[in-house]
Structure formats: structure tokens, C-alpha cells
Amino acid sequence: MSDFVDRVTVHVKGGDGGNGSAGIRREKFKPLAGPNGGNGGDGGSVIFVADTNATSLLDYRFMPHRNAGNGTMGLGDVKDGSKGADLILPVPPGTVIFEAKGAQGRPKHPGEVLADLRHAGDRFVAAAGGAGGLGNAALANRTRRAPGFALLGELGEERDVILELKSIADVALVGFPSAGKSSLIAAMSAAKPKIADYPFTTLVPNLGVVVAGDHRYTIADVPGLIPGASQGKGLGLEFLRHIERTEIIAHVIDCATLEPDRDPVSDYHALEHELAEYADKLELPLGAIPIPERPRIIVLNKVDVPEAKELADFVRPEFEKMGMRVFEISTASHEGLKELNFALAAMVTEMREEVARREADEEQSRVVIKPLEQNGRRRRRADEGGTALEFTVERKENANGDFWFEVTGTKPERWVMQTNFDNDEAVGYLADRLAKLGVEDELRRKGAKPGDEVRIGRGNRAVEFDWDPTIAAGAEMLDGAQLGARGKDLRLEGQEPGGRRRTNTERRRQYHEMMDAKAAVRAAMMAEREAGHWADPSVDDDRHDETSLFGRGDDAE
């Protein structure tokens, strides 16, 4: 079994953000000293990094699910939770990351290109971690002095991506099966590819590093191509991608083949046809030279065989008429390898300069907009307003005639995920945020009536509820005036007895008022006593008093 893997589907998930804390600071003589809940920690991200020490995508074939660390929950005393650890995944340079398309449970196919990690150190965040929820200390403001709730942490991004390795080599060796490509790499470099005398011996691309004087370059052995490879015949379609990043294409032609209807010139035209068919399907990276414009050389192999030597001498003028350089070699006797080596080194040096010039021109011609540098991750404000352009409201209906209103948008969907629906105050806070964003007005404009079903978000993360504008977006009085904003703590607003600490002046005033009230009560009682309003309790002078201790007046006698 081969240990080379050049395409694999990976499921990545960023870490979930930690929940915020809804703590209240309590001190001696201060039963409600204010909110002190900290923010939750942000989740870690899954990051792919091009690393020269990575040579294959084999690790991801056996471990296709990769998760970053979760953030921890906030604590009291305004202590923020810790951030989840980022997951760094090394991949070989030349790896292209695609969005995975396809139904769940079905094989995935590449979609949009997400990143092209061409150079060592290139990075791509495949799944961003979720932001931590704000604690009640961060949610407190002038009108909401002691929130009894906190925001939940956001879920980390989760998706499937396809990693596809396109070998970065200077020279690509192409040819029919058993043309001697692997033998050529073994003769010119320290690579040890599998070599045998049957077709399709090479099942995976081989790379070799070649030294020619002061120059170093790499050569790639593309598994044998046959007519129809660009349509999926043989092994060519799976490995043609490895010539996309090469700068020179070397046709290795077997001059000693015994197969009928084959000769060096027809082999060359057959291979060029497959390359042209495949080139039409390519989306070349920045500064890359199109395949038809890349320089070619012809390598006539196995000239150590007398018949092959005669055939090579016969077809050489035909290739030279096409404007190509021709080299006659033998991987068995090493004949002509030195000349080929230095010729390839000179061509590689020239092409590297050309590619660098093209990349510089492309970089100057395109406009790159970068965000302003920020220290750390920006904390979202507790109350984020917006415009109607930041969300959409659509009326949906199914085949049964059931309808609902679907609200989508970055802010509404994120706010719903941050809300703890077991806390009425948190639900009211969500309603106020949605009303401030303009969701309620847009629902009315779309024809929504109280009691209609409303869904915020799509898929498994959607939240459904029956719309009630009186409750869902702030209580309204009959005259249209709104009540105070949700989140106010009555204990701090002085609407509950003893809920607010009194000042010394208030204490003295209330004490004197209480003492004056007691003195007034005593004076009134004394005046009633002196006026004879009080009777002797031992005398039963009320015959109608059923609770009298001495009976009911005259009836007691």
C-alpha cells in the first residue's frame, strides 16, 4: 500500500466560545454591590500551514476529523475565561484547499478554491473559533445597571474542506508507461522510486532533488499517461494536477518499445494532446505560466539498445524542426545524463526569473484591501445597532400551505445563538436588540401578523417562535409610549423597599419623621384617655359585643 496521498476530505471545526458569567459582587453591608461577571474565552481556530517537513496528506486520510480547543466560561470578579488553543495543521507546500461540495453521506467534490498554500509558511484559517459571550459586567450600562443574565458563547465554524496536493517541482517528466521516468529520477537524484518492467509501476508521483554545479532543482515523475488520460482513463487524470506548478515539461520517450502503432513522434503528439485537454480545465495561480507556453524538451531514452539508438537518430531532426531541444540518454549506462542535467539547470534558472517577474507584475496590478491592524480580537459591543440592509426577511410557504417568515443575517443569527432562552430577561434583551435593528418594522412591512411563525436563521441552528410584537420587541402602551428598556434591576432603581442604600441625610430625615409620628400617636392616645374615650375593661357595657370576656351585657345576668 502506498504512503502517498494527494487528495483527502477533512472535517474541521473551530472551538466554541465560552459562556459569559452573570455574577453579582456581594460585600459586607452591600448585598448588591454590582455585576462582576467576566467574559467567556474565545474558541480556538483550525489553521492549515504550509510546512516543508510535510510530504504527504496521509495523516488526514486516517484522522479526517480535526477540532480546535473550546474557550472556558467567564468567572466572578470580572475574570475572563481562557482562550481555546488553535489547532495548527501542517500540509506540504503546493496544497490547495477547496470547499467540499456534495450531500451528507456522499463523496465530496471540490468547489470554490479557499486557499493556495504555495510557499512555506503560508497560512489559512479553515474554521474560525467562536467568540466568547459577554458577561453581565460588560452588558451593564447607565440604564441596565445590574443585568441578571450573560450572553452565551458562539459556536465555532464547522465545515468540510478538500485538500489537494499539487507537487511544486521545477521539471515534470511525462511519458507513456514504462518510458523510463522513474529510472531517470533514480539516476539523476537520490530518490529511490519503485522500478519494474511492467506498465503502471509508478502509482504515485515521485520527487527528486538534482544538483548541477551551484544549482539545485527538483524533478517530478508523473505516473504514465495514455490517450484519454484527461477524461479519466488510466492513472493520468488523478496525477496530471502535479504538473500544474512545474516550469518545464520534459517528454521522456521510449525508443525501444515493441508495441505496434507506436513511434517517438506519435507518442509526443498523443501526450501533447492530453496536456492541451487538461490545460483547458486549469485555473492557474498568480504568475503561473500557462501549460502551452511552458518550454519543452525531448528526452529519447534507452539509446543503449542499438535499435533504439538508430530510431533516436532518425527522429531527432523532426523534433528539432519543431524548435525543441533533444537529448539522447540511457538510464542504464548513464549516457547523456550530464548534458541533460546542466541543460535543465540553465532552463530552470531562466524560468524562475520569468515566474518571479510575472508574479511581481501581477502583484502591482491588483488592488489589495487589508483591515486596520488591531491589538487582539475586537470585542463586540453589548448593543450593536444596524440598518435593514444587514438582514433580510422573506415569507416562505410549503406545499401544504403552511407559511412562515424567515429572518436571516449575520447579527440576528449571532444574537439568537448568544441568548439563553431559559432567562426571561435575556429573551427581552434579545427582543430589544432585534427591534433596534429594525426586524420588527420589516416583519410588519412584509405582512406579518401577531401569532405568525417566525424563524431566525437556517438549518439546525434556526430558532422558531410565534411573533408577538408586544412581547417580542418591547412592551408598548396603548398610547404608543414604550416602557423602560429591559434589563433594569428594580432593586437598584429604588422601586422595592430597602433595595437602595440611603444616604446619611435621608437616614436622619426618615428617623426624625418616624420619631415625630410616634410622638403624635402618643399625644393622640393621651388626649383620648383624658377625654374618657377609654372604658374600664372589667365593665361589660356593650351588650352586643360577642367577644366580650364577661358575656353579652344583660343576658349574662
The highest-confidence range among 95-104, 254-263, 494-503, by mean pLDDT, is 95-104
- 318-327 burial by CB neighbour count: b if 16+ within 10 A, else e? ebeeeeeebb
Asked whether residue 10 carries a pLDDT value surpassing 80, the answer given is yes
User: What is residue 501's predicted lDDT score, i.e. its pLDDT?
Assistant: 67
Burial class of residue 488 (count of CB atoms within 10 Å of its CB; 0-12, 13-18, 19+): middle
Asked whether residue 479 carries a pLDDT value surpassing 90, the answer given is no
Q: How confident is the model at residue 377 (pLDDT cuts 50, 70, 90)?
A: very low
For 100-103, which contacts have Cβ atoms below 8 Å and span 24 or more sequence positions? 100/9, 100/159, 100/160, 100/161, 100/162
Q: What is each CA distance from 261 to 12, 175, 267, in whole angstroms?
A: 50, 16, 10
Q: Which three cell numbers stand for residue 444?
A: 410588519
d(CA 240, CA 237): 5
Binding-site entries: 175-182, 200-204, 221-224, 301-304, 330-332
Between 402 and 476, whose confidence is greater? 402
Asked whether residue 209 carries a pLDDT value surpassing 50, the answer given is yes
Q: Which three cell numbers stand for residue 240?
A: 496530471
Q: What is each CA distance from 116 to 16, 73, 162, 463, in whole angstroms?
A: 27, 36, 12, 36
Helix axes 337-365 and 181-188, enclosed angle (nearest 10): 90
User: What is residue 476's predicted lDDT score, i.e. its pLDDT?
Assistant: 39
State mean pLDDT over 470-483.
41
Partnered with residue 248 across adjacent β-strands are 171
The highest-confidence range among 129-143, 181-195, 345-359, by mean pLDDT, is 129-143
Q: What is the average pLDDT score of the chain?
A: 77
Could you tell me the end-to-end alpha-carbon distance of the chain, in angstroms, rounded to an integer?
Answer: 121
Q: How confident is the model at residue 205 (pLDDT cuts 50, 70, 90)?
A: low
User: Could you tell me whether strands 403-408 and 392-397 are parallel, antiparallel, or unpaired per DSSP bridges?
Assistant: antiparallel
User: What is residue 539's predicted lDDT score, i.e. its pLDDT?
Assistant: 59
User: What is residue 536's predicted lDDT score, i.e. its pLDDT?
Assistant: 59
Asked whether residue 433 carries a pLDDT value surpassing 50, the answer given is yes
Residue 484 is which amino acid? G
Binding-site entries for GTP: 175-182, 200-204, 221-224, 301-304, 330-332
H or E element, residue 124: strand 123-127
Sign of CA dihedral 327, 329, 331, 334: negative
Q: Which of 35-39, 524-528, 534-538 has the lowest mean pLDDT?
A: 534-538
d(CA 223, CA 242): 10
d(CA 312, CA 323): 17
d(CA 91, CA 74): 35
Q: Which three cell numbers stand for residue 183?
A: 529510472
pLDDT digits (tens, 9 = 90+) for 34-70: 888 899 999 999 999 999 888 778 888 889 999 999 9
pLDDT digits (tens, 9 = 90+) for 127-174: 999 999 999 888 888 878 888 889 999 999 999 999 988 766 788 888
Map out the domains of the chain with their CATH numbers.
Answer: 7-165 (2.70.210.12), 169-357 (3.40.50.300), 391-470 (3.30.300.350)
User: What is residue 226's predicted lDDT score, i.e. its pLDDT?
Assistant: 55
Sign of CA dihedral 438, 440, 444, 447: positive
State mean pLDDT over 345-355.
85
d(CA 434, CA 438): 6
Between 68 and 532, whose confidence is greater? 68
Sign of CA dihedral 166, 171, 174, 178: negative
Q: Which of 3-17, 151-165, 168-182, 398-412 has the lowest mean pLDDT?
A: 168-182
Asked whether residue 356 carries a pLDDT value surpassing 60, the answer given is yes
Phi, psi at residue 519, to the nearest 5°? -65, -40
User: What is residue 219's predicted lDDT score, i.e. its pLDDT?
Assistant: 83
DSSP letter at 85 equals: P
Which among 150, 147, 149, 151 is positioned nearest to 492, based on CA atoms?
147
Between 357 and 45, whose confidence is greater? 45
Asked whether residue 202 carries a pLDDT value surpassing 80, the answer given is no
d(CA 330, CA 396): 71
Q: Which of 63-72, 443-452, 473-482 has the lowest mean pLDDT?
A: 473-482
User: What is residue 134's predicted lDDT score, i.e. its pLDDT?
Assistant: 92
Binding-site entries for Mg(2+): 182, 202
State mean pLDDT over 194-204.
48
d(CA 499, CA 30): 10
User: What is residue 216's predicted lDDT score, i.e. its pLDDT?
Assistant: 84
